[in-house]
Chain A
Amino acid sequence: MDDAALVAATVSGRRDAFDVIVERHRRVVYQVCYRFVSNHEDASDLSQEAFVRAWRGLKNFKGRSALSTWLYRIAVNVCLNRVSAKTPPTEPIESTEPFEDTRIESAQRTLLREERAAAVRRAIAGLPKKQRATLILRTYHDMSHQQIADILGSSVGAVKANFFHALANLKKILGREP
């Protein structure tokens, strides 16, 4: 069953259809939220709130965009409303390097790399909200400028400007890091 059919079934009272929507999109919604808050507990709470809001608003979903885009928009709004611009990351940083590579690195090098990653996370957490949202959607979710503009309710030009300023601010903040 595709997303449109699941939406129609949910609105007509099929409670189990919404369970399928949650199951299908929960991972991506969680990842968006995690990018904003950098810790599991808050990301989990925000994801749950996003789905509850989706349930409330589903009868007004007209299908003009994909359900996934609509859910992105809800999740981003939940995060933008809730998250302080200065939320510090509270969980250890994980590297994307393959495990085999880290085993042959010296402990000191691993530590330095993780400290740098933590600094990058702090810098992202310190960005203005629109810049942070743009960076997250563009960098981690491979969204086009137009999709991001639709989600944030802005123009493509504004998205590009926010993306540039996000990177420029990161460069400035990280340039001051030891």
Chain B
Amino acid sequence: MNHLTSDELIDAMEGMLDATRQQHLDACEACRRELAELSSVLREARALNVPEPSPLYWQHFSERVRTAVDAEALPSGGWPRWLRWPALVPLAAMALVVIALMVSAPTPVDPPAAVAAVDANPGDVALAADSWVMVADLVGDMDWDTASAAGLVVEPGDAEWAVLELSANEQQELTRLLRAELLRAKS
């Protein structure tokens, strides 16, 4: 009869060899020797253990994983960090102000001369665009924590607070500018 195959030798080591092949194993010295040598190697390998790290290590390890994971995005593929609620709240407040102004806006009239002059000056528009490009280049790679540490982020309520800080004349001028801008957008 044929000697045990590699699969059968593994089955024999694990006590899973079928009865017919077990009969061969019992009668075959070569197969028994092969099985004994493989079993001996397995025993030696099994005797190697893993040193247990100190209990303090596990706490340190969890902190390392937490730090590494914090640098990753949310697994649910959520919004970018800079677009989460701390930034969205003032943006939403500003949007509400603009909507309120749109609803309460009077019927269209000719824009004030000053506004028309600003619109008509392409040099000023180019300057403003250049300024935005420069600002975008400066802060494009900045993350939320860095911007927050530098005092550059908008906190909830900042927009409302800034409006309240304006003098009466400044508030009147802001209202005029916003209305003019709305009229320009409608036209």
Which residues of B approach A to under 8 Å, CB–CB?
6-7, 9-10, 37-38, 41-42, 44-51, 53, 57-58, 61-62, 64-66, 68-69, 72, 74-78
Per CB-CB distance, the 10 closest pairs between chain A and chain B, nearest first, are A164-B6, A59-B75, A58-B75, A96-B49, A170-B41, A34-B50, A167-B38, A51-B65, A55-B69, A171-B41
Per DSSP, are chain B's interface residues mostly helix, strand or loop, or mixed? helix
User: How far apart sit A119 and B58, CA to CA, in the bound complex (Å)?
Assistant: 29
B76 touches A59 (CB 8 A): yes
Q: Considering only CB atoms and an 8 Å cut-off, how many residues of chain A contact the other chain?
A: 50
User: How far apart sit A96 and B42, CA to CA, in the bound complex (Å)?
Assistant: 15
Per DSSP, are chain A's interface residues mostly helix, strand or loop, or mixed? helix
A165 touches B6 (CB 8 A): yes
- In the assembled complex, A120 has its CB within 8 A of some CB on chain B: yes
Measured CB to CB, the nearest residue on chain A to B51 is A94
Q: Which of B9, B68, B75 has the most CB of A within 10 A?
A: B75
B42 touches A139 (CB 8 A): yes
B-chain residues with CB within 8 Å of residue A135 when the two chains form the complex = 45
Q: How far is the CB of A23 from chain B (nearest CB, A)?
A: 6
Q: Which of A21-53 contact B (CB under 8 A)?
A: 22-23, 26-27, 30-31, 34-35, 40, 44, 47-48, 51-52
B-chain residues with CB within 8 Å of residue A18 when the two chains form the complex = 69
B6 touches A174 (CB 8 A): no
Measured CB to CB, the nearest residue on chain A to B38 is A167
User: How far apart sit A170 and B65, CA to CA, in the bound complex (Å)?
Assistant: 35
Binds B, one of A7-15, A62-70, A78-86, A103-111: A7-15
- In the assembled complex, A151 has its CB within 8 A of some CB on chain B: no
A48 touches B58 (CB 8 A): no
B10 touches A160 (CB 8 A): yes
A13 touches B76 (CB 8 A): yes
User: How far apart sit A128 and B7, CA to CA, in the bound complex (Å)?
Assistant: 19
